[in-house]
Every structure is written in structure tokens, then in C-alpha cells.
Structure 1
């Protein structure tokens, strides 16, 4: 069963076509093709999304693509197209340089030019532009603190928008003419201002909202001088339009279809942003209630609060799988995988487990790795890690829980 789950996960990733989504999104726009287009793509799916723009009838004068190291790309690099790579989930010096170049490109447009912005998951870390008075080191410390404290992606992005000249509509403010953004959402129920921290979108949150998040998760930074983002009432906001071309729910739909082709009867659960511990309890209950041949599928963006003293490596998918495994009936298997192929600080997309895996690991070893938030080493050493490499896809995490097709089956 575990092998079938991994095959289904890989099948889902292969089925997601970000290039076609952008190409079709441009074709659906009601306006005639603009005379000149300047294009920016930021995120884990940036190369594929830019490929879709280049395949459209639009005349792209100049383009910048910013993506993580290892992301596959076949784009024709040259004077008109720059491919920049930076770090994720924590930004680095290359992220700052990428942010500066993107802002300069927007500022080079005229009122007659269109700025096309293509955003996918990971954009927030890949292109950074800290405001004056807040150095990159401080921004990195804030990011690290929020990650470890278990802030949700929505809370995380609320702070990011007020710690940047690029996010929170900063790119729209920098542009001289109209702005169109096509978004591949990696935020469950997220609005445009949540996706990539909203480089083009007007922001309904305030400095006070961001400060409240800091006060809750990282009070040592609550007194930082935050900046106002682009408000919906600002004049520049009227120049921006955005369209979501891919959403996380598609991941669950494709996952259900893949399991059905493999012989299971699959039910899609509502998306979740609950914590890892809450989801682990839910999956343990569901595992006991599944009939033979039944499966449940969910797209999720769980939070995981990590002990600041921990030096372990891993991510929320691998951690969730490890926590769930000992609570599974012997004929049930569970997969948790990050669609981008990178689960936190691990080198895996996630993990696939069952009760036999937990028994082989042993209670003491299992508890030790969980306590140290070191599940990457645990899965790497026991063959449960899912290794895909950077997928060029990012639509949250996919969870698959299945029971064997016969009641006497063993996982």
C-alpha cells in the first residue's frame, strides 16, 4: 500500500500544469494584448509559469524569474530574461538582490506598459526588500522566530507585508502603469494578499495587525518600525488586477482520482490549517473508522510549533506522519507530502508510514526523534522518506489515508 500511495502522490504532481494555467489565464483576459509587457515570476513554480507567459501572444519586453535552487527550468536565458535563484524557506542575500532587481524592473515601466506578475508558493522568501531601518539580519531573525513558533501562513504573511517594500502591494506602487497578477495559490482559503505576501495586491491588514502577530509569536520584535502596505483605497490599487489560476483544492481532487484509479473509494475532506497535533488525532480516529478499500484525501497547511532549542531537521509532513504511524491499525497506511518536494529543512517531500513501520522503529527511538523534531533523520534511515527533488509545483501539502481493500490485509 505504501508504494501505491507514493505512486499516487507522484502522479498528482505530474498532473499539475502551471504553464498551461498561465497560458489559459492570459487567453481569458478581456483586454487586447498590450503593446509592451514587462514580466516577473517569483516562486517555486516560477519557471513553468513564465514559460506559459512566453507561449502567449503577448510581447514580453523583459522578464525576471526568481525560484529556489534546484527548480527545473528550460527557459531561454539571455538579456531579455534573467533567471535568479535564492533560498527558501529562509531568505538569503540572493533574496535581497532578487527583490531589488524586481523592484527596479517595475520602476522602469511607463504608464503605457503592462507589468505581468506571476506568483506561486515560496515567493515571500525568494524576493525580499526590507524597508529602510530594518536590516536583512533582523528580517531573517523575525522569519525564523515565526517559523519556529508555529504561526500560520496567514499570520506569517501579515507580518511579511509590513516588513517589505516589495510585498503588500509594493510592486504595484513601484510600477508606472497597469499591473496584472496571475496567482497559483498555496494558501488554503487565501486571498490575493496572502499569496506570496501579495506583491501586487492591496492589503486589508494594518501595521497594528502585524504587530499583534509579533506580540503573540515573537514579542521580542513587537516594537519594530513596521511599514504601511498598499491600502485598497490607495490610488495605485486601482491599476492592479489579479486572478487565481490554480488553487490548493485541486491537489486533493487529483489525489482522490489517483487513489480511485488504484482501487480505493476516496473521499475528499475539507482543507485544513489545523496544527499537526490536531490533525494527528483526527487521522487516528479516521483510520479506525475506514472500511476496507476506503480512503480519505485532504489538502492541508498545518502549523507545527518547534522547540527553539531543537537542532533537529525535518518538516511538518514528516513530523505528522511519524506522530500518526503508531496509532494506525495494521492494515492502514498514511502519506503526508509537500507538493513542492521540500518538507521544511529535510531533503524529502514528506513520508509514508504504517503501523509496521512504527513497530520497526521502536517506541524509544520514535519518541526521541519526535521530541528533538528530528524526523528527517528518522525517515531517511528507515526508508519512509519520499524523495522527489524540487517538483516545480506548490499547492500546499497532500495527505492520503487508506485502508487495505480486504479486512484481513496488512499494511
Structure 2
């Protein structure tokens, strides 16, 4: 099979493995004595809601999920609303407020099913008292461009939120809570998936403040007071209100990598999963993986050829130029520069939600002739990388990966194919 087509099929298999209609039904709970209330947030929340409706044979007393604009899926019994991602908006605040109202006054006989996926942090942006949405929007922009990791970003979010960091589960008490989650974070930590609205959080306000100080992000006095006073403290794991809260993963980055590996194997290509939790600056990760790929291509170490190197996780971009960032395209451009047109190496990288950074492009492809084609178009690849303009580069050379909404999110996907 043509290398680029094989890479595309591997990416598609990874995404398909995490689609709610294929992974959610086997995790359904038993029917409760009381009411069932369905809530949720994330890029996959609407698709998860529909999958739940189709698989659930009982009544649904009420339901509300919030998803990203453009990710709506029609449901019959669960209301779907939309809000902004990655920078939050008022629609997300309104959805979070309604969600808290929906789970008030429940009984121990009731069951709350919470459908959580990546993107839920921005889609449930309801701030604590004394914190404004405008302040959270500005803080989100600063965190996204400073190079902070997702674990750091979500720690800050949990301590300025009225619904994250276990607060949503606490609001459901004394009802039983079952969270069904699609993981989009390295390590699948429940506290980091949508900033953990239904799980206890062991981090503190002091941890959040240290992160902000580390990246030298200026804080309005009201936000700093919220953290220094402890008003923003999250719900801790031993809180009695979380006693009846359960958490189940229904899709993970590792499972997506395994699905891609099966595609490679069916085509006679040995697949090697390096890690499902790669983090760090995109261009630095690219240099390391390029060195490994070149060792395989030229010395057949540590793997023989043909083979594909698979990895997941979430890399970051510190935007210093005037480009649009995007961790996957930044990774690919740095990879291409490090490979310098090695004739037997091809690659794909993309965000499984279809959105790389803040662009409606999942990622792109690297081929051996990529740099040559760029120079022929008058594009200096090194200058594009220095300007953090990966999106502009791959659009110009025609090597973008565009999927549209995928209705799931299991983080970034990378595949480097070394032919025989």
C-alpha cells in the first residue's frame, strides 16, 4: 500500500476505536431504583449522549450535555448545547450553571451518569465567586501559548472553577455518580480529563499559584487572592460527598495506538508502540523521534524495517513567532527538518479530535520530498518553524490532515513509517 495512504488508515483506525458508538455500551451501569440524570461535557459529549440513549433500555429523567460548536449530535432525550473551545465563553458558563441546577435535590436512590471527554475544561468554565469569565478567558489564552503542559493547565483551572475539581460530583450528593470518560491526557489521570469535575483532587491552590508564577503569568489581584486565601480549594479525594462516585474509562490513547498497530500488521508492517504519554515541546520531541527513525532506517536498530513507530500523548508549543502554533504541525515540520528528506521515512501526526491547537485542521503528513517541494514554492521551512507557522507551511505544500469533527478525543497521534 502507498505509504501516505497507509498512514491515513492508521490515523482513521485510531480515531474510530475511540468513537462512543463503538466503546461506550459495554460500560453501562445497572438500573437504579430512582431517577437517571445524564450530564456531560467535552468534544465527544454529544456523541456519547447519543450512544448512551441508543444502548440504555431504561428511563432518562433529565439530561444535558455541552459540546464544542460544530460537534453537536442530535439526541432524543438528552439536551445538547454548544459552547466555545479552547477559549471559554458565556454559553459554557450558562451550561455549567444549568448542570448544577439539574443535579440539585437528588436522593440516594438516583443515578447521575456523567459523560466526560477532552475539551470539558473549556466547555464548563463557570468561575468561582469573585472571578470573572473575562479573567478566565485571558488566563486560558496565556496558558495555551506559554508552553505549560495539560496537567499544569488543568491544575490552575480546577482551583478557579465552581464546577471542576470534584465540585460537580459533590453537588450530586447523595445520589450515586458514574462517570464514563474518554481520556485525552497522558497517563489517563481522572483529575486531568476535563479537569476532573467528578473526582477528588489532591493538588492545592498553592500548586496552581506555583504554576502561574513559574510561567510568569500576571494575575489580577482578585485571582491571586482566590488562590492565596484558599477560597479556590478543590474537593479532596477523601471528601464524604464522593463516597458514591465511580469513574470508568471507555476509551484511551493506548487503545487507539493498538488499533493503528493492527492496521499496520495487516499490511505486513511491524508496529512498535513507543509510548501513549509523550509530552514536551513539539520540536524537541520531533528531534528525538527523528534520531530514532534515522537509526532504524540506516542501521536497522533497534528495529528492523519495514516498521512503524507509534506514539501518543500531548506535546506543546511555546508560540514566540507570529504563526498559529499547533503542536502536531510544529512536530511534523521539526521532524521533516531533522530527517532532511530521508527517502524511506514518512510520517503523520494529528489530534484525534480533528483540531490542532486552535485550527480546524487535525495535523499533516511528512513525505521524503516535502522540503524540496516547499523550497520550490519559495517557502523556507526553517523560517516557518521559527515563526511557529506549521499550519501555514502544511497548507501551502498541500499536506494537511483535515477530518472535520471526529466526535471523540484521545489526544495526539503520531506514526513514523520506515519502509523496507
Fold shared, TM-score > 0.5 on shorter chain: yes
Q: 1:179 aligns with which of 177, 192, 200?
A: 177
Q: Residue in 2 aligned with 1:160?
A: 157
Structure 1 portions without partners, runs of 5+: 406-411
The answer to which of 121-130 and 235-244 deviates more is 235-244
Partner of 1:60: 60
* Paired position in structure 2 for 1:390: 405
> By how many angstroms is 1:14 displaced?
2.6
Contact 1:118 1:181 in 2 (8 A): yes
1:371-390 equivalent positions in 2, closer than 5 A: 371-390=386-405
More divergent stretch after superposition (285-294 vs 362-371)? 362-371
Give the aligned partner of residue 136 of structure 2: 139
Q: Is the 8 A contact 1:327 1:355 kept in 2?
A: no
- The total of aligned residue pairs comes to 397
Contact 1:145–1:217, Cα closer than 8 Å, also in 2: no
Equivalent residue runs for 1:233-252 within 5 Å: 233-252=238-257
The match for 1:230 is 235
Partner of 1:344: 357
Separation in 2, partners of 1:144, 1:349:
20
Match of residue 127 from structure 2: 130
Q: Which consecutive unaligned segments of at least 5 residues does structure 2 have?
A: none
What secondary structure does 1:398 align onto?
Answer: strand
What is aligned with 2:45?
46
Report the aligned-residue RMSD: 1.8
Contact 1:19 1:50 in 2 (8 A): no
Q: Deviation per CA, 1:392-411, whole angstroms, max 9, x where unpaired?
A: 11001111001123xxxxxx
Give yes or no for the alignment of 1:88 onto 2:85: yes
The match for 2:71 is 71
Segment drifting more, 12-21 vs 322-331 = 12-21
- Partner of residue 408, structure 1: none
2:33, 2:251 → 1: CA distance? 24
Q: What does residue 331 of structure 2 align with? A: 320
- 1:313-342 per-residue CA deviation (whole Å, 9 max, x = no partner) reads 241001100111122212101111100011
Cα separation, 1, equivalents of 2:405 and 2:362:
9
Pairwise CA distance, 1:108: 4.8
Structure 2 residue matching 1:146: 3-state secondary structure: helix
